[in-house]
């Protein structure tokens, strides 16, 4: 009986400790004044198939279409929207949507645009005079985008000759070439069994992604996959290494992720100096796993993994007395309580100036056209 009482007391103490925990790490004197959120789209269908794929019939097995968001992905973002509403209620005007307070930006891709819309349905259910149809607690909210070929900030797919040249140089380094020597057997094995060329890391990543989605949607995988499609195995490792390639040097990071960093930092500076017009409190970016990976890898925070569906990065600006600092949080699951990441060269609480000085190599100082010129 005494043992039972002891465990009951311990359990109660743990529950009280959890209940008293705060959703983010800040002192009592600090105030959240602005936040940027970068999230990956929700669950989707595979991007590609392969000639020997028993599940390659798009019409039969992937009715939404290759690469398209599915219902599970919509639900993931609806739930993330509800979490973000709870986290950022203090930044909103009475909990209502206002274009003067919130801005939503997406890459020009169906799944990210749809994820943003699903997210906003959970984030901003209409209330009061925003209810325009009594039996539909949803309201249209603008989602801004630009064509992929012009997007050098979020999708980072706009043409950049200097980046392409720098990437080719990196791909010729012994470090990179040794990957193909070490895993030559894997490339050959995959090519022989899929019936298509497998010669790059992105080929491996796309194939691994297709098999992973087929597996979680209860589609039996071919016998040959048992040798290579293994949690923590070489195929998964190469797929995760692929996320680091685009930002593997300071020059690559500057041209792939630097413009996003600059945009966020400039907006923080404008907020601090009361120059932000409109004076918004929240900026949402609907993007991709590669966006999150490139952001983290550019500043030494990326650990090899695939950013999950609806994963989110929160870059939050705080005011403490007369000083400002920001923190970065990474939400990979359904956790409500997050701890700030320790930013290399800057710590958990980082001032804008300190970050700019510490990471000046990766923050562009000129226009995109000049930075990308050869």
Q: Which residues are catalytic?
A: 41, 289
DSSP conformational letter for 307: P
**What tokens were used for 9?**
């007391």
Query: Which CA distances in Å does 363 have to 8, 107, 298?
Result: 53, 21, 10
> 147 exposed, middle or buried (CB, 10 Å; 0-12, 13-18, 19+)?
exposed
Measured CA to CA, the distance from residue 161 to residue 166 in angstroms comes to 9
Q: Smallest Cα–Cα separation from 108: which of 147, 74, 73, 143?
A: 147
| CA-CA-CA-CA dihedral for 366, 370, 372, 374, to nearest 10 | -130
Measured CA to CA, the distance from residue 26 to residue 271 in angstroms comes to 19
Question: If you search the block for the tokens 């009951």, which residue do you land on?
Answer: 8
């Amino acid at each position: 009986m005494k043992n039972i009482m002891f465990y009951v007391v311990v359990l109660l103490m743990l529950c009280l400790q959890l209940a008293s925990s705060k959703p983010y790490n800040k002192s009592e004197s600090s105030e959240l004044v602005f936040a940027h959120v970068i999230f990956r789209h929700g669950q989707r269908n595979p991007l590609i198939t392969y000639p020997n794929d028993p599940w390659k019939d798009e019409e039969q097995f992937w009715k939404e279409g290759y690469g398209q968001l599915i219902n599970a992905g919509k639900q993931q973002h609806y739930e993330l929207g509800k979490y973000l509403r709870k986290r950022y209620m203090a930044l909103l005007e009475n909990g209502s949507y206002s274009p003067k307070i919130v801005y939503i930006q997406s890459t020009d891709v169906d799944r990210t645009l749809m994820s943003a819309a699903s997210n906003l349905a959970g984030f901003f259910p209409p209330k009061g005079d925003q209810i325009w149809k009594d039996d539909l607690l949803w309201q249209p909210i603008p989602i801004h985008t630009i064509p992929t070929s012009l997007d050098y900030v979020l999708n980072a797919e706009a043409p950049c000759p200097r980046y392409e040249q720098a990437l080719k140089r990196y791909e010729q380094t012994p470090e990179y070439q040794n990957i193909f020597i070490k895993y030559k057997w894997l490339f050959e094995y995959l090519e022989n069994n899929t019936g298509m060329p497998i010669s790059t890391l992105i080929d491996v990543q796309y194939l691994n992604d297709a098999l992973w989605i087929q597996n979680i949607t209860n589609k039996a995988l071919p016998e040959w996959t048992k040798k290579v499609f293994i949690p923590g195995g070489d195929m998964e490792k190469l797929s995760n290494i692929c996320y680091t390639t685009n930002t593997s040097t300071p020059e690559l990071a500057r041209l792939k992720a630097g413009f996003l960093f600059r945009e966020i930092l400039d907006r923080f500076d404008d907020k601090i100096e009361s120059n932000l017009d409109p004076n918004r409190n929240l900026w949402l970016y609907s993007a991709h796993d590669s966006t999150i990976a490139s952001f983290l890898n550019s500043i030494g925070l990326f650990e090899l993994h695939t950013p999950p569906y609806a994963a989110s990065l929160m870059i939050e600006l705080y005011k403490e007395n007369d000083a400002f600092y920001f923190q970065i949080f990474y939400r990979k699951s359904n956790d409500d309580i997050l701890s700030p990441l320790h930013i290399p060269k800057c710590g958990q609480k980082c001032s804008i100036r300190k970050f700019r000085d510490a990471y000046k190599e990766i923050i562009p100082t000129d226009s995109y056209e000049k930075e990308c010129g050869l």
